[in-house]
Chain A
Amino acid sequence: MRVYLDNNATTIVDPHVFQEMEPFFVQKYGNPNSLHSFASETHQPLKDAMERIYAGINAPREDSVVVTSCATESNNWVLKSIYFQYILTGRKNHIIVSEVEHPSVMATAKFIESQGCRVTYLPINHEGLIDAQSVRDNITDKTALVSVMMANNETGGIFPVQEIGEICKEYNVPFHTDAVQAVGKIPVNVQSFNVDYLTFSAHKFHGPKGVGGLYIKKGRELIPLLHGGSQMGGLRSGTLNVAGIVGMGKAMEQAIDALDYEMIDVRAMRDNFEDELLKIEDTFVVTPRDKRTPNTILISFRGIEGEAMLWDLNCAGIAASTGSACASEDLESNPVMEAIGADADLAHTAIRFSLSRYTTQEELDYTLEVVKKAVKRLREISSSYAYTPNR
């Protein structure tokens, strides 16, 4: 049996999405910017897809939702444009990000920091969440941008973007949120809170890889990262990824349709699975369930190094994830676990299970049995877990 519980990394493409994309490879392969019929036959499907994308995040028609190649591009674009517009020109000298942003925000922030910009990294609290108050404590009239993710990829923790948006509005500072882990899991509505830029990515909600988006509020225009043939209204040049845009449109529509299922049924399966996992001795979950996306569990098994656990799961066909030590190429412990700082011995023991609407109860039952076996085996090997066979 193969079980995929790494849906925060990427998801299966919904077959309906794949079906809608298919004609745009061999039949309707025109470049939308040409004049002939090969081009024009792509226009209506593209417009329909854009309508679906706008509807998915409830973007007003006068605002821009620019299709990009991925969330990394969207995040780079916001931070680098802010650097060009505000920092390099000397108008502002400071940005605020959380200390647990995705690497595409974090590494970009570090880069512009190396170029002379002051960067504040907001700490997370004992629940793995950001306190909106910390934005208020750090924002100044020289702040050019606040960038705080909507939901964290590791813990699923939902950050208080509503309150942070209010604070940014008060200080008239642009607010960016990386909503990659939120779209399709919790409601994302750009009119329900103050936000100027919002990042998302199709492959996290059962769309194709290689296509993402950036919402840009009217009046907060960015300098293009990609100059060229003036596609996407000149905001983002590059031949339109027709199949990708069509696919993301369909995926967005499907995700919105399935949102109730995700928030009720997937959540119920997740909660039940988590209850069962927590029955295993010496297991810990940091972020409270009601403050998390409905599909994510980050759980620590005391005495078991994360990669060792992943190895055993993989041998049984189960895909999960860890940001901890050995699994990532750079040998760092899970940044969230480290930031929480509660118990250093647990920093390398976290495993992330992320479900989707394709996850079945049968898969979770099987996974639970495999986890129990792996915990037993690895705790017997563990030098730091006092194992007593007869307990």
Chain B
Amino acid sequence: MGIDSLIGGTIWDAYSQKVQNLMNNPRNMGEITEEQAKAMGAKLIVADFGAESCGDAVRLYWAVDPKTDKILDAKFKSFGCGTAIASSDTMVELCKGKTVDEAVKITNIDVERAMRDDPDTPAVPPQKMHCSVLAYDVIKKAAAQYKGIDMESFEDDIIVCECARVSLSTLREVIRLNDLTTVEQITDYTKAGAFCKSCIKPGGHEEKDIYLVDLLEEYQKEKMAKNANSMATGGAVAFADMTVVQKLKAVDRVIDDNVRQMLIMDGGDMEILDIKENGSHIDIYIRYLGACSGCASANTGTLFAIEGILREKLDENIRVIPV
């Protein structure tokens, strides 16, 4: 938060002058007909991307010289908001005169940069980055059509965040190297998830094959498997044989890795008060904090879950007792 986020402005205030002008007067709006293409001695390509029901759709027309692969003329039509119109128009402008192979290299970031008034101020607010992605995707579609190949073959890597163009392999590497545990951290490191937010978790503007939360979970699982491995093979002391301090630390670690995040997400937390041996049982006394204290499931579902995890990770004979 902070002063800049407390009074939200209208997103329109964040549009560059260029974007506004293009919204009002797009230069390349229209169609290219079969006859027009023929007259240029060109092959006509018409590519559609997006869907009206999703709120964004664009159609790209290319007249391509079959001998040189050069895009002789380009036009667009768009169902979308003003920034979708401006992005489409800019994308078309960037295509003109390029070869198909050159055009495929145009990214949504190029489109966005071309609409900036000054180099350091984004042309559109974060929620609108998505519009320039559509403009980028339709180029690939058109190029694939021209070459008679599959659209996916232009990507050597899966792009998880389209707005910031962050690939799956980059994300996996950054998460692992920096031991990231939250989406906010991923965004800080890679900018993924900073814009339209569709890639964070299911339910956003676009459906994805893999989301940032999946990658975090995948890494956590990987880490846990490694831990379990080292515990089993590294000659670690059995839980029952640990000193009280070691036991507390071990319990704390398991709670941190498996439980705390869930509780915090629901507005609560817990602390470990004491560990006592009680006959064949090891009793762990805990206290719920925040929303957890008084939560209906604190003495049922949540408790069983915590106990289950501790038994699985540390010792069969653990009992968890909320105080």
Contact = CB atoms under 8 A, between A and B. Distances in A.
A383 interface: yes
A382 B88 CA distance: 12
Contacts of B56: 305, 325
B82 A308 contact: yes
Contacts of B80: 305, 308, 326
Given A115-B295, A348-B55, A329 B127 contact: yes
Contact of B55 (A88, A115, A347, A385): A347
Contacts of A326: 11, 55, 80-81, 83-84, 127-128, 131
A18 B12 CA distance: 31
B148 interface: no
Contacts of A333: 55
A116 interface: yes
B130 A116 contact: no
A383 B78 contact: yes
A329 B76 CA distance: 26
Q: How large is the interface on B (under 10, 10 to 19, 20 to 34, 35 or more residues)?
A: 35 or more
Contact of A116 (B8, B24, B76, B295): B295
B227 interface: no
A81 to B, nearest CB: 16
A50 B84 CA distance: 50
A116 B299 CA distance: 13
A367 interface: no
Interface string B50-91: 001111111100000000000000001111111111000000
A276 interface: no
A308 B52 contact: no
B297 interface: yes
Interface string A303-321: 1111110010011000000
B81 A90 contact: no
B29 A381 contact: yes
A191 interface: no
Interface in A278-336: 303-308, 311, 314-315, 324-327, 329-331, 333
B26 interface: yes
A331 B131 CA distance: 11
A381 B196 CA distance: 24
A88 B294 contact: yes
A90 B296 CA distance: 8
A193 B294 CA distance: 36
A90 B58 CA distance: 53
Contacts of B11: 326-327, 329
A307 B295 CA distance: 43
Contacts of A88: 294, 296
Contacts of A344: 52-53
A333 B52 CA distance: 11
A325 B55 contact: yes
Contact of B296 (A116, A307, A330): A116
A330 B59 CA distance: 25
A118 B35 CA distance: 62
Nearest to A329: B127
Interface in A180-215: none
Given A116-B295, A305-B80, A329-B8, A384 B127 contact: no
A345 interface: yes
A19 interface: no
A116 B297 contact: yes
Contacts of A331: 55, 127, 130, 196, 204-205
Interface string B6-25: 00100110000000000110
Given A311-B12, A331-B130, A345-B52, A381 B296 contact: no
A307 B48 contact: no
Most buried by B among A88, A307, A345: A307
A339 B12 CA distance: 27
A383 B57 contact: yes
Most chain A Cβ neighbours within 10 Å, of B24, B52, B53, B58: B52
A345 B53 CA distance: 4
30 contacts: A90-B296, A114-B266, A115-B291, A116-B295, A304-B79, A305-B55, A305-B79, A305-B84, A306-B81, A307-B82, A308-B82, A311-B23, A314-B12, A315-B24, A326-B80, A326-B84, A326-B127, A326-B131, A329-B8, A331-B127, A331-B196, A331-B205, A344-B53, A345-B52, A380-B29, A381-B26, A381-B29, A382-B78, A383-B57, A384-B79
Given A345-B53, A381-B29, 7 more contacts: A305-B56, A308-B80, A308-B85, A329-B11, A331-B205, A348-B55, A382-B79
Interface of B: 8, 11-12, 23-24, 26, 29, 48, 52-59, 76-85, 127-128, 130-131, 196, 204-205, 266-267, 291, 294-297
